[in-house]
Amino acid sequence: MTVRIVPATLRDLSYIAANLRPEDRAEIDCQFDEWSPALLALTALQGFAYVAELDGNPETGFGAAEQRGGLWVAWSWGTHRMRRCVPGITAFFHAVLGPDVAARGAWRVEARALAANELALRWLARLGATQRCRLPGYGRNGEDFLLYDWTRESWNHVPFSKAAGAEAAATDTDHCRQGRAGARSRTQG
């Protein structure tokens, strides 16, 4: 089975969002009053957004978006075949996404996960995120979440000098290290 990382499209993210694995659906359901696959996909296209394909089929959406200067939020969700994509996404995170976010001036990248989402919690630890705190009652029905982060000081695997010149490894990028769903166009700087 071949995993390929490509820039996200609304079509691919909508497909993934419509076919979420139960753990990701539960995590998303309790963070929104109302949502649809198309709305979730459109929201995800902010910032850096990628899709992991498994044998040509979109299975996982992931990325990071700037919330304000220096603060970014990382996200991911997928279908029942997401687990098979995790090793490829992890390698891409370390080689491309992490350095690209650092090169954009991130001081802090946060990720929140439903406390019951064991795959997400294990994966965040494997990605080098630090668990900061429990967020009791963070979900709209009182579900607990855990807050993880990476800070500039904790990016031991991403020297800033390397991050500043990192090139995207995803196919079909726009040569601004952002893919088709990049945070800023060339004219915005």
pLDDT attached to residue 34: 92
User: Is the pLDDT confidence value at 166 over 80?
Assistant: no
CA-to-CA distance for 183 and 33, rounded, in angstroms? 26
> 115 by DSSP, 3-state: which?
coil
pLDDT attached to residue 75: 96
Tens digits of residue pLDDT in 88-122? 999 999 999 999 999 999 999 999 999 999 889 99
Give Cβ neighbours of residue 20 (< 8 Å, ≥ 6 apart): 28, 77, 78, 79
Instruction: Enter the tokens of residue 159.
Output: 């020297």
Tens digits of residue pLDDT in 69-95? 999 999 999 999 999 999 999 999 999
> 102 by DSSP, 3-state: which?
helix
pTM: 0.81
pLDDT attached to residue 155: 67
pLDDT attached to residue 111: 96
**Which among 112, 48, 119 has a CA at the least distance from the CA of 80?**
119
Contact between 139 and 30 under an 8 Å Cβ cutoff? The reply is: yes
> 25 by DSSP, 3-state: which?
helix
User: Is the pLDDT confidence value at 174 over 60?
Assistant: no
Give Cβ neighbours of residue 123 (< 8 Å, ≥ 6 apart): 76, 86, 90
